Amino acid sequence: MQYEVVLPAAGSGKRMGAGQNKLFLQLMGKPILIHTLEVFEQDTNCTGIWLAVKPSERIYIRELLKKYGITKVSGMPDGGAERQHSVHACIKAMNDVSIVLVHDAARPFITHPIIKELAKTAFVNGAAVAGVRAKDTMKKVVDGRVQETIDRDSLWMVQTPQAFRFDLLAQAEDVAEKIGFLGTDEAMLVERLGHTVHMVESTYENVKMTTQEDLVFGEAILQHRQQGGQMNV
């Protein structure tokens, strides 16, 4: 199932505390952004990559693309103040697309089988998200006080990619912009249209590089994969 992918890459990564776009930080000698891009560059089902970027970083990103042989980038529109605005900018620049994936540029460990399942599920059902089952006990807390313990059997931690039929996501983005609604992810916008979003089970390796601790974990994942294994987390 062919698809195009949107990677919002205009964030600041304040929680990383690196003083620069965290996507440019190195994981085993290569920028996080490049690790992520290579996943889609190497996927024969991916027909185009869209990067929402800061205008001030566009030239540097182009240099990285050339250096690492990334050829599938179809466009790099200006990113917005929020992730949702960046995704919308890419959606408005696209055309003649059946399935579109939206993926965190700071999640370099997504695998081709999960991507394939997401694209297939979105083609059949309209919308699909990657996620993993909650492993820890979940409690609702208000003002520092536990209100209740929530049954975790039905709780999933949502990741990316999130996959959609293009027309459905475009409609959801347009409606959200029109009414000034800001969602936490693209699936939330689709849910507000009354459309069912399907879950595709991912892996706990598909972590987002958010803190310095994540970088350490990421290095361990890469080292383990180079040895032909998968982390048991």
Q: Is 85 left (phi over 0), alpha (psi -120 to 50) or beta?
A: alpha
Query: Quick one: the chain helix, strand, coil %, rounded to 5?
Result: 40, 25, 35
Q: Give the model confidence (pLDDT) of 51-93 as tens digits.
A: 999 999 999 999 999 999 999 999 999 999 999 999 999 999 9
CA 141 from centre of chain: 28
Q: Give the model confidence (pLDDT) of 19-49 as tens digits.
A: 678 999 999 999 999 999 999 999 999 999 9
State the pTM of this model.
Answer: 0.93
Tokens found for residue 116: 């394939």
Is the CATH number of domain 3-226 3.90.550.10?
A: yes
Closest CA to 51 of 43, 207, 59: 59
